[in-house]
Structures are given as C-alpha cells and as structure tokens.
Structure 1
C-alpha cells in the first residue's frame, strides 16, 4: 500500500514576495479609494496654482469678472510687469540677501552642531534648549527691539544700517541659525563616530575632521538647513518692509507695494499681479527641483536608528 506524499508548497521568494508583503502590510486603503483621495489632494493643491497661471495671461476685466479660463490670452503681462513695478531690483536684492543668509547659515550650523554633538562641556544642554526656545518667539515681538538696536548701533558707529542689505542679512541670520543648527544636530547624531575616531588615530585635528569627513557626509542636512534659511529671507515681508528703502526692497516687499498701489485704482492690474507672483515663485520652485534628492535625505535623517 503506497501513500502519496502531500504536495510541497514553496513560499514565494524574491520580488513576488516583496510585492505581496508590501501590499498586505502597507496598503491601508483599497486601490480605487486611494486613487480618489490622491486625486482630490492633487486638485486641492494644483487648482490655485492653475488659477494663478491662467489669470496671469488673462485680461484684468476677465479676472475681475471671475473667468477661470481666459477668453483672450495676454502674454504681455509678463513684459509689462517689469516696468510697472521694480521687480527686477527686488529679485536681485532677494537673491543677494536670502542667498547669502542660506550659504552662511548652512556652514555655520554645521560647525555649531558638530561642537554641540561631539563635545561635552558645561552649558551644552542649556544652549540647545535656548535654541529651541528661540523658535517659539513670534517675529512680530522682535521687530521693534531689532529696529531700536540697529538704530542705536547706527548712531553709535556713525554708519547707516537701517535701509541696507546688511541689516536684513544680520536679522535673517539671527532667526535662521537656531533652526538650521537643530536640523544639523539631528543629522549629525546619526553619523557614526567610528570614522572620526579613526581619523583622530591618524592624527587629524578637529578642523580637518569637520571639513574632510563630517561636511562631505552631511550634504543632505546642509542643503535642508540652507533652503529653509533661504525661504525665511525670500518670503519675509515684516522685517523687509521696515528695514529697507526703495533701493533695497526685496521681491516680497515690491509685490506688497504693487498690490497696495493698485487698490485705489479704477481696475487693479490683476493680470500683472498674477504674473509677478509667478515670477517670484520660480526661483523657489527651481531650488526645490534641483536639490530634491538632498531634501529627502536631509528631512528623513534621524527618523530611523
């Protein structure tokens, strides 16, 4: 009497197993419902941008009447806006100030975070808590103290400070450096100490370790810190409207002045205002697209140990 052996089942391996495991474990919603939710979120995010894009090539009367799709295209709005508002000067000032703050803040935050993470000294935790506490202070509360401080320094030194790019540079650096330092502290905590210890055994100094080992491995965190510092200077209107003059206005202040100036007219220049808004948004979008790979790595640093 012979008995047949039960069939041998082979567990799926390789790509098929990963597909099944991924689908069973991580898919929380059915695929059709997931597609609907993603479509709704995309519409919520992209419809305002599409409206601004279509309004920038529409006539002022068309925008005022509520047209979504323009009845006639007016691409000359992108040409007229350069003569209507001092947008070129504002963009140049924004690039100089925000770009300088981003570069200086990124590299200063690396050095500061390296000292706070790798060296133990008295007051280190207090310093870290102070950096965190500075993030909870609203910028509106600091406007008057900063203005009075710069005015007093200008009177004492005999040099103009208010109305210069240097005043904005120092102001933005003061507010951006604590956050950038926290970003780099989180990133450097995930770097292995063995690389630095091996370099010290070979006789490398702390400065050489920072520039030759830590900095090359920290580029994702440096990019994140620099981009956030750049956005702080690019989007700010509060400090830039108080500490600048018509020659040093940033792009955000130029847009604000342009919008306010059009409120008293018979028909605001809606098309040019939309075109100017898109022109000011292009550098930020390009920055994100260029450094997207570093942004993902820098923002997720420290999430998995």
Structure 2
C-alpha cells in the first residue's frame, strides 16, 4: 500500500505524507540508524554497567571486592541475609515505606484538590499563591534544616507535643516540601483538561465535589501518579532531615545506610559486599514503583508541554 496520497492543486500534484508513515519517521529521525544504535548502546552501558558491578560486588567476598575483582571468584548470597541484622535494614525500610508512602498519598490527594481550586476559580490572591509555590521550589533544603528543627523542638517545650524523633514529624516535614511541587504538577495537568466536561457535569446537576470526584480525578491519574511518585522519592532519598529528626527506632533506610557506611571507615577491610547488597535492596522499591506506573509517568510528565 502506498504511504503517500496525491492532492490536486491546479496543474501541480503535491505528495502529502500520511501520519506515521515510514517517510515521516525518516524525516523526524535526528541521527542515522547505525549512529543511533551506537548512542543508545553507549547510554545503556553508562547506566547498566555500574548496576552490574554493584550486583557482582554484592555476591562477592569483601577481599575480592577490595582486590578490584569485577567478576567474583566465589559467588555467595550471604551478604543479603546479613544486612538485616548488621545494617538494621528491616527497621529502616519499614520506616521509609510508611513515611514516604504516607507523604506520597497525602501529597497527591491534597495537590489535586488545591490545583482544582487554583485553576478553575478566580479569586483575590490566586496569582500570589501560584507565584509563592514557584518561589518555594528555589529555596534549598539545607537552609531549612535549622528553622524546622527549632520549630519542632519548640513544640515539645511550649505545646507538650513530641515531634523530633517521631515518624509523623518526619512525615509533616516531607509533606511541607512535597506539596508545592505536587501542586504545580497538577496545576499544569489540569490546565490541559477541557472545561466542557465539567460544564456538562454541572448542567446534569453535579456539585463542585461531584465534578472533582467524578470528572477531575478519573482524568487526572497520570498527573496524580507523577506528583505522588516525586513526593515518595523525596521522602525515600532524603538523608539530611532524616538524620537530624529521627532516633534509632525511627530512622529511615537512607540513614541506616549512611550510618553503616560511616562505621566501616578506618577498618581493616570494610563490608563491601553488605554495603552493595543493602544499596540494591534499598533501590529495588523505587525501580518496582517505576515499572508499575511508567505508563502514567510518561503522560503526566509531558502534560502541558503542547498546547
């Protein structure tokens, strides 16, 4: 079947490529085929080779890793069983899942309702709120460690509420930093949704909550997933606030890895295998989360990019 169609315009004949045709793909391709394959292989190796080395080191002996072996001379999976006691990874992973998961769910739920109000309603101070959310993204987290610590420690003195060293205190901290970004993601996404659907729902008698739950939420899953995953990553990867505001029983996996790595300094042969195994175990939930929601991530991240 031909991939082009002929259109008569006077005496001339214009060849128009059909969308998705082979010729159109050739025009859109930025690099030649062989060069594109080389670039993709190089980028893939740049990511996968370090991961492969970490895995091989996790099944190698500490002496073998210290000697610079890439392929282990003896393969053992004992490091994966030892990390649960030596690193204290079980407690850290539990706390990370609880805190980061709660931050992701609450941040996504609040951001979609907040963005709905900011996008669909006009009121005094609306633009100031949007600009304030954008300005909060430029504030480094290191500048906020001392103020947040002083504020939360003062709560125990003046209000009798213990915040420092608790899981919910860390949750409130992460939620404060996750909400501005999550709200901006949802604002960008909701601006691309057609207003006609909401108007049709209002004609049918739907209230504001009915429009939000029946129209906005079902259509906003890509944006909700993106905002939730970024909030989850904020709590999962954070070391700065978690190391200041936690105790041994409430520390996260990132803090447990930091403490275990620092305890190996100055030793004869550090536990390289256990360190690599613990790093892979801590990275696994994030990879699994991405694999599950990757189809939503593509739609959510590109929302608002084309008008």
* Common fold: TM-score over 0.5: yes
Which stretches of structure 1, 4 residues or more, deviate above 3 A after TM superposition? 9-15
Deviation at residue 13 of structure 1 after TM alignment: 7.3
Separation in structure 2 between the aligned mates of residue 286 and residue 279 of structure 1, nearest angstrom: 11
Alignment partner for residue 260 of structure 2, among 249, 258, 261? 258
Separation in structure 2 between the aligned mates of residue 41 and residue 240 of structure 1, nearest angstrom: 33
Separation in structure 2 between the aligned mates of residue 33 and residue 249 of structure 1, nearest angstrom: 47
Change in Cα spacing, 1:14 to 1:130, as seen in structure 2 (3 Å) is closer
Q: Deviations over 1:70-126 (max 9, x none)?
A: 111121110111111110000000000000000000010000000000000111111
Give the match for residue 201 of structure 1: 203
Separation in structure 2 between the aligned mates of residue 279 and residue 85 of structure 1, nearest angstrom: 12
Give the match for residue 24 of structure 2: 21
- Unaligned regions of 5+ residues in structure 2, if any? 1-12
Task: Say which is worse superposed, 259-268 or 170-179, in terms of deviation.
Answer: 259-268
Give the match for residue 124 of structure 2: 122
1:190-229 equivalent positions in 2, closer than 5 A: 190-229=192-231
Give the match for residue 232 of structure 1: 234
Give the match for residue 4 of structure 1: none
* TM-score, scaled to structure 1: 0.94
Deviation at residue 264 of structure 1 after TM alignment: 2.7
Cα RMSD (Å): 1.5
* TM-score, scaled to structure 2: 0.93
Q: Deviations over 1:138-188 (max 9, x none)?
A: 000000000000011121121211000011000000000000000000000
Separation in structure 1 between the aligned mates of residue 198 and residue 74 of structure 2, nearest angstrom: 64
Separation in structure 2 between the aligned mates of residue 190 and residue 10 of structure 1, nearest angstrom: 35
Give the match for residue 35 of structure 1: 37
SS in 2 for 1:191: coil
Separation in structure 2 between the aligned mates of residue 26 and residue 18 of structure 1, nearest angstrom: 11
Alignment partner for residue 142 of structure 1, among 132, 141, 144? 144
Q: Does 1:75 align with 2:77?
A: yes
SS in 2 for 1:291: helix
